[in-house]
């Protein structure tokens, strides 16, 4: 299994000098969150982009799609910011097409792992489990839901992901 870490709130840390949150160019949050899986788990981490998803552009999505397409693993988790996760999921689905044999699960967090690791760890754990069990396709795993990307939406008023209304 491959985890591609793009940044987002999941990874944010507090800068005591600047007084704000920033996305560091490292995989520390993901490494700590998957630590309980153990060293023999076979999970590989690839860090890329390291941005808040609101700052991601088409070139960043192209890079993400390229990394997913070139990955030898068939089970892939993408740690991504929640604001534009759906756009990246759609780009990956479009790039991979219907013939893909890969299972790609995007996940993230509304609260940084560094502030409260519970939500981030729960979402990542669900994504890792889903990527190991689901068939080919592009999914989002957030807040206890794991659904095809087109069936889940971020409810900004409630601050959580929900099944898309029919």
| pTM across the whole model | 0.95
**130-162: b (≥16 Cβ within 10 Å) or e:** bbeebeeebbbbbbebbbebeebbbeeeeeebe
95 pLDDT higher than 80: yes
pLDDT score of 97: 83
pLDDT score of 39: 63
3-class state of residue 90 by DSSP: helix
The predicted-structure confidence for 28-85, as pLDDT tens digits, reads as follows: 999 999 987 766 678 899 999 999 999 999 999 999 999 999 999 999 999 999 999 9
The predicted-structure confidence for 114-138, as pLDDT tens digits, reads as follows: 999 999 999 999 999 999 999 999 9
Span 2-163: which CATH code?
3.40.50.1170
């Amino acid at each position: 299994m491959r985890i591609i870490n793009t940044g987002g709130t999941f990874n944010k840390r507090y800068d005591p000098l600047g007084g704000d949150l920033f996305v560091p160019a490292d995989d520390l949050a993901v490494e700590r969150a998957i630590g309980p899986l153990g060293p023999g788990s076979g999970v590989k981490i690839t860090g890329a982009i390291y941005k808040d998803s609101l700052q991601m552009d088409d070139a960043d999505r192209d890079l993400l799609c390229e990394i997913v397409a070139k990955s030898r693993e068939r089970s892939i988790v993408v740690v991504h910011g929640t604001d534009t996760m759906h756009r990246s999921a759609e780009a990956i689905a479009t790039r991979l097409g219907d013939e893909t044999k890969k299972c790609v699960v995007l996940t993230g967090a509304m609260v940084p792992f560094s502030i409260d690791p519970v939500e981030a760890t729960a979402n990542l754990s669900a994504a890792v489990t889903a990527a190991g069990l689901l068939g080919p396709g592009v999914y989002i795993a957030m807040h206890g839901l794991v659904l095809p990307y087109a069936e889940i939406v971020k409810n900004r008023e409630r601050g959580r992901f929900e099944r898309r209304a029919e």
